[in-house]
Amino acid sequence: MAPHTKTYDVLIIGSGGAGLTLALKLANAAHVAVLSKLSLTDGSTFWAQGGISAVVDAQDTIASHIADTLDAGAGLCDPEIVRLTAASGKQSIDWLRSQGVMFTEEQNENGQTQLHLTREGGHSHRRVVHNADATGKAISEALIARARENPHIELFENHNVVDLIVSDKKNPQLQKIQGAYVLDTQHQQVETIAARIVVLATGGANKVYLYSTNPHTSSGDGIALAWRAGCRVANMEFMQFHPTCLYHPGAPAFLISEAIRGEGGHLTLPDGTRFMQHYDPRAELAPRDIVARAIDNEMKKRGIDCVYIDISHKPAAFVIEHFPSIYEQCLKLGLDITRQPIPVVPAAHYTCGGVLTDSHARTDIPNLYAIGEVACTGLHGANRMASNSLLECFVFAERASIAILQQLPTTPLPSAIPDWDESKVSDSDEEVVISHNWDELRRSMWDYVGIVRTDKRLSRAMHRVEMLKAEISEYYGNFRVTSDLLELRNLVIVAELIIRCAQLRKESRGLHFTTDYPETDNRKLPQNTVLKP
């Protein structure tokens, strides 16, 4: 083994809700490293507004949660995965509270304190547990504090994974994951980290689109890492666009929580006319794919830049109490949401597909697990129901911990791992290549592989992606890696996977809508779109 190699029992790539939960559940029995590409709070979990789906109310049922999830997933959910996830909701909430996570509470009619539950699109009951409109922040801060206190967990910020280390590359049957090459972006050097087990908890890939509600870090790293290592991916055509992202040319993208619609917010045209009732009997509470397509259609049909979401008919105190973060953010831009509507547009929000895993988060390659948005578990099918994403993080972190703790005693530490070799590359003198390709890739995906697709648009997108992929590969082979280059290299792979999956699906289902095949094909059992390297 190389002298400078760091060694851990478990290497977790990603510091969001899934990664930190797993680290805490393993720490009593393993030496764990958690890598964060930037700071520990720069992932999607920290910015999650809505909450966690969980059956905690006596008037609600697990069967109802299952039925709602299956309906939103448009026939592609794995019923057993949905069942075990829904059944684990209360247990997940109880564990989070035990870790110090505070959720919004209220007094019931008997004067007793109970969790306040909100309702979001696709849900037939109020079952979203939350902390006002900043649930992810509350979760992240509590779990980070717990992880910092634990002597068996090492947290590394500003560490971006270059590639997974795979043994026996010439013999697929003997391949296993042994660790990762990791760029320490603060010191601009690549480290070798060996581990018995590696876990991908890197989040989604929504920065492949020009407009996204996600933080800059959501560049599909885990999906690309797993694909290059030899794992299958599935259902990448199902990219969820959140219907309501703040439209303000002078401000960065900002999510306007689905909970606003759950609490009675109306979607309107510029003249104040509501329109969702023309698209679905559930109106504003329809699943996200329906609402996003409706908004997209109204904008294109009428030539308008945005639509509006209006909750100003509710008492001002109610709005400020339930949506303090949104209220304050909008107020900074001169928008008082207690008195006026919010301009919104759809934006890329969630990756429903990902690295194919089993019910305990195992991937195709031994010693490699995937949890959270990076994984395709079968929970979301063709469309994720609101607030099932955070639930999935905690449920599958728990299930992965069970499998990993069983595996660790029989999994030896890797040996004879070569150090990273950059002896044949130089520093780049053309950084503009990265920024130009980054912009072209994301703009092409937005224009051709967005909310509404056609065969011609997909073909155009693939042509551009193939050219960019070749150019990026050449650049990667000649110059020392940087964080921007690694993200671009990963994004172009993710773009190709999305397009390939979309081209294979000759129907419209869930989040994948194509005008060439506008109907859902129910003549045969719905099939997942699975790609193999």
Mean pLDDT across the chain: 93
Reported as a single tens digit per residue, the pLDDT across 481-493 is: 999 999 999 999 9
pLDDT band with cut points at 50, 70 and 90 for residue 300: confident
Q: What is the largest CA-CA distance in the chain?
A: 73
- Per-residue confidence (pLDDT) for residue 128, from 0 to 100: 95
Report yes or no: 461 and 445 within 8 Å, Cβ to Cβ. yes
Structure tokens at 458: 């997909």
Task: Over range 306-319, report the average pLDDT.
Answer: 97
Q: H/E/C letters for each residue in 448-472?
A: HCCCCECHHHHHHHHHHHHHHHHHH
Q: Decide the pairing of beta strands 530-531 and 239-246.
A: unpaired
Distances (CA, A) of 239 to 291, 306, 397, 453, 485: 14, 21, 23, 12, 23
Q: Decide the pairing of beta strands 177-184 and 159-166.
A: antiparallel
Residue-wise DSSP of 66-134: HHHHHHHTTT-S-HHHHHHHHHTHHHHHHHHHHTT----EEE-TTS-EEE-EE--TT-SS--EE-STT-
Max avg pLDDT among 12-16, 450-454, 473-477: 12-16
Task: Over range 104-126, report the average pLDDT.
Answer: 89
Structure tokens at 401: 């911990």
Q: Which helix (H) or strand (E) holds 405?
A: helix 388-407
pLDDT higher than threshold 50 for residue 170? yes
| φ, ψ at 32 (rounded to 5°) | -120, 135
pLDDT higher than threshold 90 for residue 357? yes
DSSP state of 408: G
pLDDT band with cut points at 50, 70 and 90 for residue 529: very high
Task: Over range 214-228, report the average pLDDT.
Answer: 94
What are the domain boundaries of the chain?
6-237+352-410, 242-348, 432-480+482-518
Helix axes 17-26, 388-407, angle to 10 degrees: 30
Report yes or no: 142 and 154 within 8 Å, Cβ to Cβ. no
pLDDT higher than threshold 60 for residue 267? yes
Structure tokens at 110: 């008997």
- Per-residue confidence (pLDDT) for residue 429, from 0 to 100: 66
Place of tokens 């044949």: 424
Reported as a single tens digit per residue, the pLDDT across 60-75 is: 999 999 999 999 999 9
| Euclidean distance between CA atoms 286 and 185, whole angstroms | 43
pLDDT higher than threshold 70 for residue 59? yes
Reported as a single tens digit per residue, the pLDDT across 269-286 is: 999 999 999 999 999 988
Give the homologous superfamily in CATH for domain 6-237+352-410. Answer: FAD/NAD(P)-binding domain (3.50.50.60)
- Per-residue confidence (pLDDT) for residue 18, from 0 to 100: 98
Given 1.10.1040.10, 1.20.58.100, 3.40.50.2000, 3.40.50.1220, which CATH number is that of 432-480+482-518? 1.20.58.100
pLDDT band with cut points at 50, 70 and 90 for residue 258: confident
Ranking 190-204, 288-302, 312-326, 492-506 by mean pLDDT, the lowest is 288-302
**For the chain, what percent of residues have pLDDT higher than 70?**
99
pLDDT band with cut points at 50, 70 and 90 for residue 3: very low
Topology alike, domains 6-237+352-410 and 432-480+482-518: no
- Identify the three-state secondary structure at position 370: strand
For 294-313, give one letter per residue: b (16+ CB within 10 A) or e.
bbbebbeeeeeebbbbbbbe
Residues marked as catalytic: 288
| Euclidean distance between CA atoms 120 and 379, whole angstroms | 18
Reported as a single tens digit per residue, the pLDDT across 383-441 is: 999 899 999 999 999 999 999 999 999 999 998 888 888 877 777 767 788 889 999 99
Given 3.90.700.10, 3.65.10.10, 3.30.1300.10, 3.90.740.10, which CATH number is that of 242-348? 3.90.700.10
pTM for the whole structure? 0.91
pLDDT band with cut points at 50, 70 and 90 for residue 41: very high
**For the chain, what percent of residues have pLDDT higher than 90?**
79
- Per-residue confidence (pLDDT) for residue 517, from 0 to 100: 96
- Identify the three-state secondary structure at position 196: strand
